[in-house]
Chain A
């Protein structure tokens, strides 16, 4: 077990180091997320007031789009020098590689989301920080749900033709439940009269979703990655 975590950690550390030298993925994803929020604000903010409920939707759509971009880039790098096969050859349970890549993606998305939340709170005048801890929980669980499926799909499409197009095609339908739960939960929090009970329900559902899908991803990673 500790070997599993050790390898996952090595992969994360390697990814962080590569990213710190290159910074391409971080910067492009951040910039993309910022453009996304701006474009949405042009669409949904009229005369200084945002259309009701739009903030929650924009938040999660931006996460989904930026996440897809980041996932595609993360594995494109591994593909470039056939590096993923080098990782798969390691004498450790292969799901450890999956966990390492997942954590890397989550860290990247955490940075992106921090910026996006601030931007949306500002541009859409949404009281996102009123129940900060709730929002944080919601965002964490939702991002884990999205990224867990995305990391698996991205890895499995690595050697596939049309992988750039197929990733969103496969990912969005399967993760729509995450987005629904995230948006509804966020909406419950930013209401003038916040509904914490409902928010708790969504948080619990997201938690179960995460458990189910992370387990499923760990279980299917090895057979799906074997050609």
Chain B
């Protein structure tokens, strides 16, 4: 199933990303921030892709921990890597935008801080999987669930802290001209995320199959 899905997903995301710059250039220039504001379309989308991956990580970790489905573990590790990559994109685009519009590379407001924390958790997850030795898949699944449980605190804290990050209600009220390139980029990133997940899960499946074949070979 994955083998057939992957080319479609990659093709679709290619379409999205080829058209996106056109839409972004056409989008109106925001008054205060000027050209640099256009990074927002990718910045926001990258973070959304990361949140999606973290949710997938949390759910598949729970599946693996409580139901012991090996497929869930493969999905979990793929989601962790995807989340790391998209988070990195967000963390790079963020300061680029920040330094031009707010004058500082990094301000310690709630959302940026906790996004950085999530990135750290993902690195910790991958370190555990690499260096934890046998059995670390279960432990990592536990960690994955803790990572997901941190998400609500991210959302709530934005609304409580005084913050110079736009509060979450900005997005739904964007005028249409801003909205189209945003949701287009958003869709593009989500499709890319799914494509990456598919490819990565496929890689894990192939590894598992290879292991099984080796074991079967020794039975001769």
Contact = CB atoms under 8 A, between A and B. Distances in A.
Determine whether A and B are in direct contact in the complex, meaning some CB atoms lie less than 8 angstroms apart: yes
Interface of A: 149, 152-153, 156-157, 159-162, 166, 169-170, 172-174, 176-177, 180, 201, 205, 209, 212-213, 216, 220, 223-224, 226-227
Nearest to B119: A173
Contacts of B150: 174, 177
Given A212-B149, A212-B152, A223-B66, 5 more contacts: A161-B131, A176-B120, A180-B113, A213-B149, A223-B142
22 contacts: A157-B132, A159-B135, A160-B135, A160-B139, A161-B132, A162-B131, A169-B127, A173-B120, A173-B124, A174-B121, A176-B120, A177-B114, A205-B156, A213-B146, A213-B149, A216-B146, A220-B65, A223-B65, A223-B138, A223-B142, A226-B138, A227-B138
A209 B157 CA distance: 12
- Which 3 residue pairs of A and B lie closest in terms of their CB atoms, listed nearest first? A173-B120, A161-B133, A224-B142
Size category of the B interface is 20 to 34
Contact of B117 (A161, A162, A173, A201): A173
B23 interface: no
A213 B160 CA distance: 21
B91 interface: no
Q: Which of B66, B138, B157 has the most CB of A within 10 A?
A: B138
Contacts of A162: 131-133
Contact of A152 (B113, B120, B142, B153): B142
A169 B145 CA distance: 16
A108 B156 CA distance: 32
Interface of B: 65-66, 113-114, 117, 120-121, 123-124, 127-128, 131-133, 135-136, 138-139, 141-143, 145-147, 149-150, 152-153, 156-157, 160
Q: Quick one: which of A159, A216, A224 has the most chain B CB within 10 A?
A: A224
A178 to B, nearest CB: 10
Contacts of B143: 153, 170, 174
Nearest to A178: B153
B65 A224 contact: yes
Q: Which of A156, A170, A180 has the most CB of B within 10 A?
A: A170
A149 B121 CA distance: 13
B139 A157 contact: yes
A176 B157 CA distance: 13
B153 A205 contact: yes
B177 to A, nearest CB: 37
A158 to B, nearest CB: 10
